[in-house]
Copies of this chain bind each other. A is one copy, B any other.
Amino acid sequence: MRNPDNVFHLAIPCRDLDEAYDFYVTRLGCKLARRYNDRITLDFFGDQVVCHLSDQWDRDVTMYPRHFGVTFKDKQSYDNLLKLAKMRDIPFFQEPTHRFQGLVEEHETFFLIDPSNNLLEFKYYFDDRMMY
Contact = CB atoms under 8 A, between A and B. Distances in A.
Chain A interface residue number, banded? 35 or more
B5 A1 contact: yes
B8 A8 contact: yes
A113 interface: no
Chain A binding surface, main DSSP class? mixed
Interface in A18-72: 25-26, 29, 31-35, 41-43, 45-48, 52-54, 56-57, 62, 64-72
Contact of A80 (B7, B32, B71, B126): B126
A77 B32 CA distance: 21
Contacts of A8: 8, 10, 45, 47, 68-71
Interface of A: 1-14, 25-26, 29, 31-35, 41-43, 45-48, 52-54, 56-57, 62, 64-74, 77, 80-81, 83-84, 87-88, 102-104, 121, 123, 126-132
12 contacts: A1-B1, A6-B72, A8-B47, A8-B70, A8-B71, A11-B65, A11-B67, A11-B68, A31-B132, A32-B32, A80-B129, A84-B129
